[in-house]
Homo-oligomer: A and B are copies of this chain.
């Protein structure tokens, strides 16, 4: 199957999800060795879960299927440009390639304001719309110390 056929499936999932009332108009598929190993639709509304974007749902399904927390040699097809949350998740999952359909400006035009979040991430935490502060850094570093000292850890 071609890029176009996998993208078509992502778009089909997006439209199906809208019609079913699962959430916003977004779909994604994850492909390894030419086979779809993860499918996702936005499920924010039906699951009451703000993290249930199509890419996240597909990543979680694909990783479950692979039994691994990385998407090595996988290609991710998303019907729309990943928002910062999903793009961050993709960077942790490390697929080999990402293909998307509509862009962040298109999403903004129907009131999904990914572009706003992209801008917020660039600001220092003291200057964001959601008030954010740092406290107890020294105490918090004890958790990192516990990690450094753990001998049998799995790195990721």
Task: Report chain B residues within 8 Å CB of A66.
Answer: 48
Complex CA gap A93/B147 in Å reads 29
A133 to chain B, nearest CB (A): 6
Complex CA gap A148/B3 in Å reads 26
Q: Is the CB of B99 within 8 A of A135?
A: yes
A52 to chain B, nearest CB (A): 8
Which residues in A have some Cβ–Cβ distance to B below 8 Å?
3-4, 7-8, 11, 14-15, 18-19, 21, 23-27, 44-45, 47-51, 56, 59-60, 63-64, 66-71, 79-81, 83-103, 106-107, 109-111, 116-118, 120-122, 125, 130-137, 139-144, 146-148, 150, 152-156
